[in-house]
Amino acid sequence: MKHKLYLDKATRDQQAKELTAEGYTVRRYSTRNQLLHPMYVEDYPRQLSAEEKGFGNTLYNTYFAVLYGIDYS
């Protein structure tokens, strides 16, 4: 099973619709109060440089009040 996280609910729903059309089984969900690196969020608003993807950077503990996700297989 694979999963993806999004900031925007409409973007998540559009991706779920596309995956369903391709024949995947899709489950939509939301999660709250997450502390993770933005590289794990598909529609994070800016490109991350190589320095921001390594350990010890300031973005590593970014707080997200709500994230929308899909699980598909």
Q: What is the pLDDT of residues 21-71, one digit of tens each?
A: 999 999 999 999 999 988 899 998 877 676 666 666 777 788 999 999 999
pTM, two decimal places = 0.84
> Could you tell me which residues come within 8 angstroms of residue 19 by beta carbon, excluding any fewer than 6 positions away?
26, 70, 72
Q: What H or E segment, with its residue span, contains residue 21? A: helix 9-21
Q: How many domains does the chain have?
A: 1
Rounded to whole angstroms, how far apart are CA atoms 12 and 51? 28
Q: Dihedral of the CA atoms 32, 60, 39, 35 (nearest 10)?
A: -10
Return the pLDDT at 59: 78
- The distance between the two most distant Cα atoms of the chain, rounded to a whole number of Å, is 40
Q: Residue 6's pLDDT band (boundaries 50, 70, 90)?
A: very high
The boundaries of the domain holding residue 67 are: 2-72
Q: Where are the alpha helices (DSSP H) in the chain?
A: 9-21
Return the pLDDT at 31: 97
